[in-house]
Amino acid sequence: MNQYDSLPTSYMVGHIQIKPNIILAPMVGITDSVFRRMILGLGGCGLVSSEMTNASSVSARAIKHHHQLDFLPEERPITMQLSGNDPDLVANAARMVEQLGADILDINCGCPSPKVTGGGHGSALLRDLPKMERLLRAVKAAVQIPVTLKFRSGWDEQNLNYRDTARMAEQVGIAALALHARTRAQAYSGLANWDHIAEAKQVVRIPVIGNGDAREAGEALEKLRSSGADGVMIGRGAMSNPWIFLQIAQLRRGELPFEPTPADKQAWLLRYLALCQEDIGDRLALNKLKQLIGQFAIALPGSAVLRSAVQRANNIDEAREHIERFFAPHMELISV
């Protein structure tokens, strides 16, 4: 028996059981097949998602070149996330995503980026629930796989409509909700308000997954407990500490959470780089590493030096050398 025994360990998305109920958030530029497989390989993560993909870029012609929607069988169950605002266009893209083999289709109504909201996508739909409803209905009618919704608490503090959004989504037949409990106006500032998640959970029967600022294993489980959510979705916490899912599973089992050593962190980064290189070639792999390194909290003195060195690297060999050089003294300290 331990303090976490009473917490839920799974939830259903339609007919699909998600177990454990700790899942990886979709992240553009980050949650590609390589990152997802590396997270799943460490254990403790119940569901992964593709990066957000603009529905207008998903067509029969474009699909062959659409690596953003590639996945391997070992990643199942997998969610693919679309953004859009034209119901017919998103419904067509949804059909393609279903044909590609996605287990779950997720609609993004949370992205705060002006590029996305400017086109009426993402969190812009929070300002027009009738439009969001038309879009969700069209998508639901187009596919057999379960459809989920990821959204924010509202456009701004004056327009918190997470309860209305949750109720509407349930009525439309959405299978589960993930609420990033910030407003669009907040973007990523301030703190996610998990009371919103608790309240959304009260107004619907479908699973509600809480999202926002779960950065450490114990904290994620406390958020799960205090909100009464059905699961927790983790984004940046997984970028800075890919072991967080494993650590949560261990805490639940009453075990001491695994603490990665500098050697583990170096090995993780180098393997990530090698797999990206294999997958997308040197130049794009280097870009991926640059995107990740800002968050990959090395928790060692001087990690800012590594970050700026990697950012300045002109090629993948240079980046690899910076990583090896950075970790070398830490490894010696550990082995003494």
- List residues with catalytic annotation: 111
Residue 182 in tokens: 């910030």
CB of 333 to ligand FMN, least distance (A): 31
Residue nearest ligand FMN by beta-carbon distance: 235
CA distance 21 to 45: 8
CB of 239 to ligand FMN, least distance (A): 7
Using DSSP, state whether 310 is helix, strand or coil. Answer: helix
| By the rule CB under 6 A, 199 interacts with ligand FMN | no
Give the angle 302-305-308 at the CA atoms, nearest 5°.
Answer: 150
**H-helix segments, 74-113:** 87-99
CA distance 317 to 290: 13
Residues 23/231, Cβ–Cβ less than 8 Å: yes
**Which member of 36, 121, 150, 184 binds ligand FMN (CB under 6 A)?**
150
Q: Report the site for ligand FMN in 167-196 (rule: CB under 6 A).
A: 180
- Between residues 26 and 242, which has the closer beta carbon with respect to ligand FMN? 26
Residue 113 in tokens: 């980026």
The residue count for the chain: 336
| By the rule CB under 6 A, 126 interacts with ligand FMN | no
| By the rule CB under 6 A, 223 interacts with ligand FMN | no
CB of 108 to ligand FMN, least distance (A): 5
Q: Taking every pair of C-alpha atoms in the chain, what is the biggest distance, in angstroms? A: 64
Cis peptide before 20 (omega within 30 of 0): yes
**Which member of 30, 94, 293, 306 binds ligand FMN (CB under 6 A)?**
30
Near ligand FMN by CB under 6 A, which window of 106-114, 127-135, 156-164, 249-257? 106-114
| By the rule CB under 6 A, 82 interacts with ligand FMN | no
| By the rule CB under 6 A, 154 interacts with ligand FMN | no
| By the rule CB under 6 A, 54 interacts with ligand FMN | no
| By the rule CB under 6 A, 111 interacts with ligand FMN | yes
CB of 80 to ligand FMN, least distance (A): 11
CB of 24 to ligand FMN, least distance (A): 9
**H-helix segments, the chain:** 33-42, 87-99, 114-118, 129-142, 162-172, 194-203, 217-227, 236-240, 244-252, 262-280, 282-293, 303-312, 316-335
- Between residues 180 and 330, which has the closer beta carbon with respect to ligand FMN? 180
37, exposed or middle or buried, with CB in 10 Å at 0-12, 13-18, 19+?
middle
> Which spans of this chain sit near ligand FMN (rule: CB under 6 A)?
25-30, 51-52, 81, 108, 110-111, 150, 180, 211-214, 234-237
